[in-house]
A and B are shown apart, each in its own frame.
Chain A
Amino acid sequence: MRHLLSIADLSAAQAIQILDTAEELSRVSDGPMKKLPTLRGRTIVNLFAEDSTRTRISFEAAAKRLSADVINFSAKGSSVSKGESLKDTAQTLQAMGADAVIIRHSASGAAQRLADSQWMTGSVINAGDGTHEHPSQALLDAFTIRRNLAHGGSDLTGIHVAIVGDILHSRVARSNVLLLTKLGAQVTLVAPPTLLPTGVESWPVSVAYNFDDVIDKVDVVMMLRIQLERMSELFFPNAREYSHYFGLNRDRLKAMKPSAIVMHPGPMNRGLEITADSADSARSVILQQVTNGVTVRMAILYLLLAGSQEL
């Protein structure tokens, strides 16, 4: 594995290897051993052409715990925002000796363009490209679900996950649909018809327009962030109607199975797609997702960079 560009490229076995590696690493970082020498001498660049604090910090923490050197190249004030092309940025990073580039970009396919181009030789890790994929998020989500619900199993067979919200524009949804089904879970998408992509019938999922039909049947409720700009693009009439039909409120929280958990990739719009008490309830594993994010990203960096490049 030289790059991590999309879940679509991973086999189930590779995905499970990442989860298992993360499981071991979490034992290490839960204990007193906070820093490991494994990636000492490697340079990892965070190329964040789109704003994101949490993902960037998560990757940075993961890299530093493995003793790698981290360089941050973020959108505001950098040459990327002044219109320097992706190609020039990549060639500059190559000249600086980057072993890996973690790229977050507003253009779908940007990570793949970087990896396929001849502009640089390091590993490319997709930290979110447009509305296409966000592989490390899906991996940490699967890791969290596995820990909470798989009872020792290595995959997610028999677990039913509902993904709720703006599926059309969500890279988190796309990556999760691919990964969860690859690992044997059952996935139901819940959204208004305007926020489901044409062609969703070809996805290995069920679709529901009515949240209440689904809420008491699933083991995981994964809420997606809804952007208010979508209102001006006529995807739904207003915030009130959206949260009435698709928000995780107290009544829906109560209707969930006793063992079911609540997830959210963050950042949350408290009060819009998820109420404060749902987010803070005992069923919510949202903070676990954040912690797991660092360990899963450590696993990704280890598997991509620690060994030799030939497979």
Chain B
Amino acid sequence: MTTSFVIKGGKLPDGSQSDIAIAGGLISAIGSDLPVANATVIDGKDCVVLPGLVDLHTHLREPGKEDAETVLSGSQAGVRGGYVALSAMANTSPVADTAGVVEQVFRLGQSAGLLDVFPIGAVTQGLAGEELAEIGAMADSAARVRVFSDDGHCISDPLVMRRALEYVKKFDGVIAQHAQEPRLTQGSQMNEGIVSSQLGLKGWPAIAEEAIIARDVLLADHVQARLHICHLTTAGGVEIIRWAKQRGIQVTAEVTPHHLLLTDELARSYDPIYKVNPPLRTEADVMALREALADGTIDIVATDHAPHPAESKECEWQEASFGMIGLETALSIVTKTIFDTGLLTWSAIADRMSYAPARIGLYAEHGQEIRVGAPAHLTVMNPTKSIRVDRDLVSSRSRNTPFHGMELPGVVMATFFKGNLSYKAGA
């Protein structure tokens, strides 16, 4: 395998036709009819070349739940989806609340060598929501953690949230909140609404998300700290964030691919493949989320890739685990819901899926514009091709995708990480 490549005949995010040459881990040339001697040619016909995708919300399950996923298998799923960086959430077993665990995850990512795995540190010890975890130690560790989250759990105690927001200012860190008021969602199974009232499944009201977002943007304003809202799902939440940004509050927000497409009507089958936290909401929410991603109220797409073994999904809804995998289908879903609908250009999608996530996570090597001299982290994708999603053919160790059987546009043809070809379609 050579370390020199030329991507021929593709388009840059701004739409201009250009070849791209890669050598020594960097982008060495951009132009037309680049020479191909001593280089492997990657066919970029009909393709758009995006800056390598960066996921700010991934569950890699290692340590503790290796039957569902490992850092290696998650990395393999990631590169297949065009990702060059993943952010491993802290709700592992043991929880990533010490320098030791985050360094372990970091090293696992390095030895897999397919992309960068940036561990996210827990905010509170054991995710219990009471005592702060060793945030400083994690920030100073080899993993250099900058994003902290108790994702899976909400930091519901306002004092704890305040202290956490203040504490990470020391190194310009960010607290990523999983907005779910626990008292309003005890035993909740799906979005609270017309469908849940008919199905007899306990509802998860939108206000459980909105109330926490409202409180936290005010807190972030008060202590002048950065706040990130994980997996936004409600139209009401969108309005609160829009208001907060207008006031100059340093809040950012993410949306998952599945919340851009799927609604709570799917729960009528009682198939827990559609059971997810936060839940699928209504058509009106889906449309509001798409518009918000388009106008920048929502800054990024983040997968919330949540692998679960088969027995956690082949059962009654109540017994099933919450979560869907999503690394391998993310770009396709965005192509379908955001590009094909004319809401954003590739340039803007590059921002939502690469520049902005890297900026929020302070991943300096990533999210750079495609230019000569930049590290060669690239995603080559053909939006004119489509693929039928087959859960038996995923690279992830788990098969819990809600898109099985769906025909989706946008196929990743190649992924480059540090100038190496980390993934090639059909290889």
Contacts and interface: CB of A to CB of B under 8 A. Distances in A.
Nearest to A85: B315
A108 B269 contact: no
Given A85-B311, A85-B315, A116-B269, A109 B201 contact: yes
A202 B198 CA distance: 10
Given A85-B315, A87-B315, A113-B270, A174 B203 contact: no
B194 A107 contact: no
B317 A109 contact: yes
Contact of B319 (A8, A107, A131, A174): A107
A85 B320 CA distance: 11
B153 to A, nearest CB: 22
A25 B203 CA distance: 41
A265 interface: no
Nearest to A133: B200
A144 B70 CA distance: 59
Interface string A193-215: 00001111011000000000000
Interface residues of B, number: 22
Contact of A174 (B200, B311, B318): B200
Contacts of B270: 108-109, 112-113, 116
Contact of A86 (B192, B198, B269, B316): B316
A133 B197 CA distance: 11
B316 A199 contact: no
Contact of A108 (B192, B201, B205): B201
Interface string B296-331: 000000000000000100111111000000000000
Contacts of A110: 316
B145 to A, nearest CB: 38
Given A174-B200, A198-B197, A112 B315 contact: no
Given A113-B270, A198-B192, A86 B199 contact: no
Interface string A66-93: 0000000000000000000111000000
Contacts of B198: 8, 174, 199
Contacts of B197: 197-200, 202-203
B58 to A, nearest CB: 29
B316 A109 contact: yes
Contact of B196 (A86, A112, A199): A199
B271 interface: yes
Contacts of A199: 192-198
B210 to A, nearest CB: 15
Contacts of B271: 113, 116
Nearest to A233: B186
A117 B201 CA distance: 20
A130 interface: yes
Contact of A131 (B200, B314, B315): B200
Interface in A126-143: 129-133
B366 to A, nearest CB: 42
A105 interface: yes
A171 interface: yes
Interface string A101-126: 00001111110110011000000000
Contacts of B269: 112, 116
A176 to B, nearest CB: 13
A130 B203 contact: no
A116 B271 CA distance: 9
Interface in B185-213: 192-201, 203, 205
Contact of B315 (A86, A129, A171, A197): A86
Contacts of B318: 106-108, 130
A171 B200 contact: yes
Given A116-B269, A116-B271, A130-B318, A108 B194 contact: no
Contact of B199 (A85, A106, A132, A200): A132
Contacts of A129: 200
Contacts of A130: 200-201, 318
Nearest to A132: B200
Contacts of B203: 197-198
Contacts of A198: 192-193, 196-197, 203, 205
Contacts of A132: 199-201
Contact of B200 (A85, A108, A117): A108
Contacts of A200: 197
Nearest to A111: B270
Contacts of B316: 86, 105, 107, 109-110, 113
A86 B271 CA distance: 14
A87 B199 contact: no
Contacts of B314: 85, 87, 117
A32 B196 CA distance: 47
A116 B205 CA distance: 28
A117 B310 CA distance: 14
A269 B269 CA distance: 34
Given A116-B271, A198-B205, A199-B194, A109 B199 contact: yes
Contacts of A87: 314-315
Contacts of A131: 200-201
A174 B194 CA distance: 13
B310 to A, nearest CB: 10
Nearest to A130: B200
B288 to A, nearest CB: 19
Contacts of B193: 198-199
Contacts of A197: 196-197, 203
A298 B32 CA distance: 79
Nearest to A198: B192
Nearest to B318: A107
B290 to A, nearest CB: 24
Contacts of B194: 199, 202
A138 B200 CA distance: 16
A105 B271 CA distance: 16
Most buried by A among B199, B311, B319: B199
Nearest to A167: B197
17 contacts: A85-B319, A107-B318, A107-B319, A108-B201, A108-B270, A109-B199, A130-B201, A131-B201, A132-B199, A132-B201, A174-B198, A197-B197, A197-B203, A198-B196, A199-B192, A200-B197, A202-B197
Given A132-B199, A132-B200, 7 more contacts: A108-B199, A109-B317, A113-B271, A116-B269, A198-B197, A199-B193, A199-B194
Q: Which 10 A-B pairs have the closest CB atoms?
A: A109-B270, A132-B200, A107-B316, A199-B197, A197-B197, A131-B200, A199-B194, A108-B200, A107-B318, A110-B316
